[in-house]
Amino acid sequence: MTSAADHRCPECGSSVQRRRRRREDRLLTGYRRYRCNNPACIWGGLLPVLQPVDAPRPAAWSWAAWRARAPGRGAAMMVAGGVVAAAATAWVLHQPPLEAVMVGPHVVTRGTHLEGERLPAAHPLKTLLPAQAMEDEPQGYVEAAGAVLRVRRHCAWGLPGRNPYRGSVAQALQTATLSATVVKKIAADIHAGRRVDRVTIRNDGILAHGSGREFDPQRVAMTYGMTLCADTRVNFKGPHREEGDLYEAMDDDGQIYAVMVPDVCGNVSVLGERYAQPEPLPSVAGAVGRADTAGTADDPRPWMRLPPERRVRRLPPALRYADVSPHPPDKTGRAADSTVASPGTLALAGLALALALAFGRQHRR
């Protein structure tokens, strides 16, 4: 490509100076706008771009040679950009949307792990556990007799095995405010492998194989590390499921509690049955009869009027505390969840648009 020094003014033969092209000049390829350098000459106009005789020709396989041989290269580039955009759009539409769920005040997607938050001032566990339980999780193990775990709430269990439990069964059950009778019985059963049932853990429920009981997957008191997290939600991705052992024990007041230990991580977890109707709390002063037999018709404890296999397995009273949910339950009793678009949707659409614009700009150049 030559410079302005290779041109002469067609009016007076003086040298010329390159000027900015006008909009209509861009319609003509191979021309540039110049102005005469002679003050006495007022010529200004278009001159053809001169190609030196000894200029090297582009290689046959080069991009410049291809552009020189392809008269419809602009249309081909735009078509290629459209094909890329269409392919990216089709791929995006084929991807299933991500499901977003509520974990307390937090919005998380399925398969997300969330380690919860500190307890509010009004939570009953704050009055039942020492102040040490409200601190941050310690490093390593805490094996002192009677030591409690750290306590949090609103966790999401979305990555099984990510942070296995490091404490003991007794520590977990004591921190969950279960009675000494239940702690001793379940700890011995877990140590001996005397489970009462097996459970399948899914997003929509925790189902016992033998009894058919369905436990709430959104209100699990689950351990991880050296922490017990109240109101933990099962938050697997897609149809993922886990299996675990189920243990049960009756306290001195006739209440039966259920404890789950998943196979994948050993997180000791206290469960409560789903959709169970509320009952009045037990009255210790009016308790009569033995704990392992059904009470009489005048027993003030309503659960004692039923055989053990028909009694509802509930969370301990201190773990039943929950804030008012911003998403009311639907007709099935489940809190309303929502779906969100895949995070890559906008990125892929933007990439397709950028490719189309790049092809068009290359054509203009």
Of 20-29, 46-55, 167-176, 330-339, which gets the smallest average pLDDT? Answer: 330-339
For 187, the 3-state DSSP assignment is: helix
Share of the chain above pLDDT 90, in %: 38
Residue 362: which pLDDT band, with cuts at 50, 70 and 90?
Answer: low
Counting other chains too, the contacts that 30-34 makes at CB distance below 8 Å and 24 or more residues apart are 34/4, 34/7
Q: Which helix (H) or strand (E) holds 207?
A: strand 205-208
Contact 261, 267 (CB under 8 A): yes
Query: Does the reported pTM lie above 0.75?
Result: no
Residue 122 CB contacts under 8 Å (≥ 6 apart), including other chains = 321
Tokens of 46: 């278009």
Q: In this predicted structure, what is the pLDDT of residue 46?
A: 81
pLDDT one-digit tens code per residue, 29-52? 778 888 888 888 888 888 888 765
Contact 169, 190 (CB under 8 A): yes
Residue 329 confidence (pLDDT) above 80: no
Which residue ranges make up each domain of the chain? Answer: 1-54, 73-97+341-365, 110-279+289-336
Residue 174 confidence (pLDDT) above 60: yes
Contact 218, 270 (CB under 8 A): no
Q: How far apart are CA 322 and CA 314, in angstroms?
A: 14
